[in-house]
Amino acid sequence: MKVTIVGTGYVGLVTGACLAEIGNDVFCVDVDPRKIEILNNGGVPIHEPGLQEMLRRTRAAGRIQFSTDVKASVEHGDIQFIAVGTPPDEDGSADLQYVLAAARNIGKYSNGFKVIVDKSTVPVGTALQVKRVVEEELRARGLGESEKHGFSVVSNPEFLKEGAAVDDFMRPDRIVIGIDDDRAGNLAREKMKRLYTPFNRNHERTLYMDVRSAEFTKYAANAMLATRISFMNDLSNLADTVGADIESVRRGMGSDPRIGYHFLYAGCGYGGSCFPKDVQALAQTARENGHTLRVLEAVEAVNNDQKEVLVNKIVKRMGEDLRGRTFAVWGLAFKPNTDDMREASSRRIIEALLQRGATVRGYDPVARDEAERVFALDLADRPDDFQRLHLVNTQQDALTDADALVIVTEWKEFKSPDFWHLKSALKTPVIFDGRNLYEPEAMAEMGIDYFAIGRPHVELDRNGSHN
């Protein structure tokens, strides 16, 4: 099938590559010539495991192309995926300007019946706005409602985890499709069914529903996952106070099959491109419709506070004035297997340390370049602080002259370090672990002063052993 992907960001690239992988003829368009140049030169503007290899195969097979030619992209695809950004507006609502601009271009250049697929995460009612914009453009061309130039707007939200997006797309646990119940909708349903048939051969994974419910489903799913994270973080802070171990609590809770273990880990807060903005957008949708999602507003508040918890532990142990102190920070991206720095906890933590006069040596396996770009913007008006931030190439480089280690992202390579070497490399054997990677008792036995999230702190005696 001929498919067009509008937007070569995270969702657009993964969608385009995976659809090309199964044999479709895919045209990816973007208004950013820099991205298109990178892609046409064999590069990938984002880090996602397996994506570069897939793009290499599909490009060599001639099943995917990249261009800034909007007219050609609309003429190419019978199915037009809109996969552009929907950044949060000042009030937290999703900014739909890029979605509606894509819709306007489709209406402007449409050369036949088009299935217009909202792949971007958009609030309830967006499909209707897209429909009206396309209709306006068709009327301006004098085409009216003729079947030849008809269209149907479909909601097909993505459920991709950064770091595992290719696998999620190729082996989905569900495919949600929202379609209007009319003649155009029936045509669109047949095309979407054909497109996704390869993903349903062993088990039917497609859930058909009305458009508004499909739009709502994406936000509801992300809101639920964010709620689980904030709930565990809230419990972890109480565990710190009452002397409970949140890891033991987690195992006790997760063993209940009605609860399970997924997204049940305490840490230093969630980030990324989805949870923060989707929680805000759903809460704003509720307010616009006269409702208050009290649980969801608490979820956001807890997450905002959680990003300060590790800093508070550092200040309590090492003092408010951190001038002359150096901290090694392991992990900059908001989660492993990505270079995404959007809403990353490391940004808040590092800025707080710099504000208190500390020097920071940060390391991440893949996010160094993106982190350098982001911190240059974040600290543009604080040049003295920026001078004390050093982004390095290895774990060992980060430990150089460091008074303590701060772990922010749970990359695999951080899970089993040489603790004796780590201890000797640090000026003082102190670890602040925002992801609960290690066992407090084991750390104490090695003479490491270990502070985690919601886990008991085992005191060391003067000889460096624990009491």
Question: What is the residue extent of each domain of the chain?
Answer: 2-209, 219-305, 307-451
**430 by DSSP, 3-state: which?**
strand
- Average of per-residue pLDDT across 310-337: 97
Tell me the C-alpha to C-alpha distance, in Å, between residue 406 and each of 5, 236, 330, 427. 40, 18, 6, 14
Sorted by sequence, the CB contacts under 8 Å of residue 37 that are 6+ apart come out as: none
Tell whether the model's pLDDT for residue 90 goes beyond 60. Answer: yes
CATH topology of domain 219-305: N-(1-d-carboxylethyl)-l-norvaline Dehydrogenase; domain 2 (1.10.1040)
**Cα–Cα distance for residue pair 284/298, rounded to 1 Å:** 13
Tell whether the model's pLDDT for residue 14 goes beyond 70. Answer: yes
162 in a labelled binding site? yes
Split at pLDDT 50, 70, 90, the class of 87 is confident
Split at pLDDT 50, 70, 90, the class of 94 is confident
Among residues 352, 405, 341, the alpha carbon closest in space to that of 382 is found at 352
321 in a labelled binding site? no
Sorted by sequence, the CB contacts under 8 Å of residue 315 that are 6+ apart come out as: 322, 356
**Cα–Cα distance for residue pair 447/452, rounded to 1 Å:** 15
- Average of per-residue pLDDT across 239-261: 97
Structure tokens at 196: 């996704």
313 in a labelled binding site? no
E-assigned strands of 24-178? 25-29, 64-67, 79-82, 114-118, 151-155, 175-178
Tell whether the model's pLDDT for residue 136 goes beyond 80. Answer: yes
State how far Cα 243 lies from the chain centre.
33
Tell whether the model's pLDDT for residue 4 goes beyond 70. Answer: yes
**6 by DSSP, 3-state: which?**
strand
State how far Cα 297 lies from the chain centre.
20
359 in a labelled binding site? no
Domain 307-451 has CATH 3.40.50.720: yes
Tell whether the model's pLDDT for residue 461 goes beyond 70. Answer: no
Split at pLDDT 50, 70, 90, the class of 89 is confident
**Cα–Cα distance for residue pair 70/31, rounded to 1 Å:** 8
Q: What are phi and psi of 177, to 5 degrees?
A: -130, 120
218 in a labelled binding site? yes
Among residues 240, 238, 304, 311, the alpha carbon closest in space to that of 271 is found at 304
Query: Which residues on adjacent β-strands are paired with residue 66?
Result: 28
Percent of the chain with pLDDT over 90: 91
The CATH code that applies to domain 2-209 is 3.40.50.720
pLDDT of residue 91: 81
- Higher pLDDT: 147 or 169? It is 169
Q: Are 308 and 378 in contact (CB under 8 A)?
A: no
Split at pLDDT 50, 70, 90, the class of 201 is confident
119 in a labelled binding site? no
Q: Which residue among 18, 28, 268, 274 is the active-site one?
A: 274
pLDDT of residue 79: 98
Where does residue 254 rank: exposed (0-12), middle (13-18), buried (19+ CB within 10 A)? middle
Among residues 239, 230, 295, the alpha carbon closest in space to that of 268 is found at 230
Split at pLDDT 50, 70, 90, the class of 467 is low
Convert the pLDDT of each residue in 396-446 to its tens digit.
999 999 999 999 999 999 999 999 999 999 999 999 999 999 999 999 999
**Cα–Cα distance for residue pair 459/449, rounded to 1 Å:** 7
Looking at residue 39, its amino acid is: L
108 in a labelled binding site? no
pLDDT averaged over the chain?
94
18 included as an active-site residue = no
Convert the pLDDT of each residue in 27-62 to its tens digit.
999 999 999 999 999 999 999 999 999 999 999 999
Looking at residue 255, its amino acid is: S
239 in a labelled binding site? no
Minimum mean pLDDT range among 86-90, 123-127, 207-211:
86-90
DSSP line for 365-385: SS-HHHHHHHHHHHTTT-HHH
Structure tokens at 223: 């809101």
**Cα–Cα distance for residue pair 442/455, rounded to 1 Å:** 13
Tell whether the model's pLDDT for residue 105 goes beyond 90. Answer: yes
pLDDT of residue 393: 96
Q: Are 339 and 367 in contact (CB under 8 A)?
A: yes
**Cα–Cα distance for residue pair 336/338, rounded to 1 Å:** 6
Compute, in degrees rounded to 10, the torsion defined by CA atoms 288, 292, 298, 304.
Answer: 10
Convert the pLDDT of each residue in 174-199 to its tens digit.
999 999 888 999 999 999 999 999 99
pLDDT of residue 145: 56
Convert the pLDDT of each residue in 268-323 to its tens digit.
999 998 899 999 999 999 999 999 999 999 999 999 999 999 999 999 999 999 99
267 in a labelled binding site? yes
- The helix (H) or strand (E) run that includes residue 330 is strand 326-330
- Higher pLDDT: 94 or 166? It is 166
Structure tokens at 35: 């991205």
415 in a labelled binding site? no
Q: What are phi and psi of 442, to 5 degrees?
A: -65, -40
77 in a labelled binding site? no
pLDDT of residue 176: 97
**Cα–Cα distance for residue pair 176/215, rounded to 1 Å:** 9
161 in a labelled binding site? yes
Tell me the C-alpha to C-alpha distance, in Å, between residue 215 and each of 126, 210, 246, 454. 8, 9, 35, 36
- Average of per-residue pLDDT across 20-32: 97
Q: Does the predicted TM-score (pTM) go above 0.85?
A: yes
State how far Cα 395 lies from the chain centre.
24
Convert the pLDDT of each residue in 141-167 to its tens digit.
988 655 566 999 999 999 999 999 999
**176 by DSSP, 3-state: which?**
strand
Split at pLDDT 50, 70, 90, the class of 359 is very high
Give, to the nearest 10 degrees, the angle between helix 211-242 and helix 275-288: 110
If phi over 0 gives left and psi between -120 and 50 gives alpha, with beta otherwise, what is residue 278? alpha
pLDDT of residue 148: 63
**Cα–Cα distance for residue pair 19/11, rounded to 1 Å:** 12
Intrachain domains 2-209 and 307-451 with the same fold: yes
**Cα–Cα distance for residue pair 7/29, rounded to 1 Å:** 6
Q: Are 173 and 158 in contact (CB under 8 A)?
A: no
Minimum mean pLDDT range among 79-93, 142-156, 206-220, 275-289:
142-156
pLDDT of residue 463: 55
pLDDT of residue 27: 98
